[in-house]
Amino acid sequence: MSTCTTVFAPYAAFIPDFPAFCAALQTPRPCCLRVNTLRTTPEAVRELLMSQGYSVTSSPIADELLLVHNLMHPGRLREALLGYYHSQALTSALVSRMVAPQPGELVCDLCAAPGSKTSHMAQLMDNQGIIVANEPVHTRLAMLEYNLKHLGISNVVTTRYTGQNFPLRCKFMRVLVDAPCSGEGNYRCDMQGRVQHMRRATGAAGDLPRLQKQLLIRGFDLLAPGGSLIYATCTYNPAENEAVVQELLEQRPATIQPLTLPVPHSPGLLQWKEYRYGARMQHCWRLYPHQTGSVGFFVASIRA
């Protein structure tokens, strides 16, 4: 039986306070709701939920994020039917905030399904400008389009290219590469310490870094001069994170930018096993559950 300690043992050397990390995977988390500000306000949703007996607090990170401590099935409330909120991990919502899209801009979300970050960016853009949301898998594309429609998004066009072959003729001010990954950041442990939600066989993980490198390089090539890109995964494996960014730095004239949101995090790694990464890799962020109370993520901000 896989336990938290055994599954993440290879990372114990770089995850700060590893026992606290393992403990956090067993600790229940509040449900994070992103209020759809295209349709209502955080105050209105907070009052509606509190009137139904839910314990609601605002996230200190962003006004539109609410933490609900005793809500198990957020999709089953009337407010979900109304499109007043979207259930989304706190750290996932942070990624859209790091992209920082502005109303009127032209933005590309290269791996968009199921659309949480796409719809969040549309919300941050006040439905102005254009987001090209790309997803090659038909079933996931349907999920993306359902979520966009449900949330009243009117500034998104969807495309169905393989991300690494997305046409280069259109350039974007901002690109998000939220790459397919092994999803270790979503792992949770039951009370016996057994790991839940393991998504992929370890055999498949070997192909992911190759795909991630191709996606990141294509995302960079889609940037207009002076444009910015966010590379994100919800995994801890340095082969899917720092090594991917390092490949970009070696292939293209890219620069890693510091991130400035007030969120507890750890810096990107400068070394993993026999591999060494550039000094600016420390500007990448590693978000761990025991630091954020949410899903694990890796984020890099890159400028052309």
For binding to another protein (CB under 8 A), which residues are involved?
38-39, 52, 73, 75-78, 80-83, 104, 106, 127-130, 132, 141, 145, 148-150, 152-161, 167, 169-171
Token couple for 75: 């999709």
| Residue 111 contacts residue 135 (beta carbons within 8 Å) | yes
297 near 234, Cβ under 8 Å?
yes
Is 22 one of the catalytic residues? no
For 11, 135, 199, the CA distances from 295, given in Å and listed in that order, are 16, 22, 14
State the Rg of the chain over Cα: 19
How far apart are CB 57 and another protein at their closest, in Å? 20
**Residue 182 C-beta: closest distance to another protein, Å:** 27
Other beta carbons less than 10 A from residue 117's beta carbon: 27
Considering the complex, state which of residue 25 and residue 133 has its C-beta at the smaller distance from another protein. Answer: 133
Least distance to another protein, CB of residue 86, Å: 14
Rounded least distance, CB 84 to another protein, Å: 8
Buried residues in 230-245 as b, exposed as e (16+ CB within 10 A):
bbbbbbbbbbbbbbbb
Question: Is the CB of 155 or the CB of 246 nearer to another protein?
Answer: 155
Q: Which is nearer to another protein, 116 or 182 (CB)?
A: 116
Q: Residue 144 or 179: which CB sits closer to another protein?
A: 144
Query: Minimum distance between the CB of residue 29 and another protein, rounded to whole angstroms?
Result: 21
Dist CA 294 CA 287 (whole Å): 9
Q: Quick one: angle between helices 116-124 and 138-150, nearest 10?
A: 40
Residue keyed to tokens 């790694």:
269
- Write out the two tokens for 293: 């109370």
Q: Which is nearer to another protein, 80 or 249 (CB)?
A: 80
Q: Give the active site residue among 4, 31, 32, 234.
A: 234
Q: Which amino acids are annotated catalytic?
A: 234
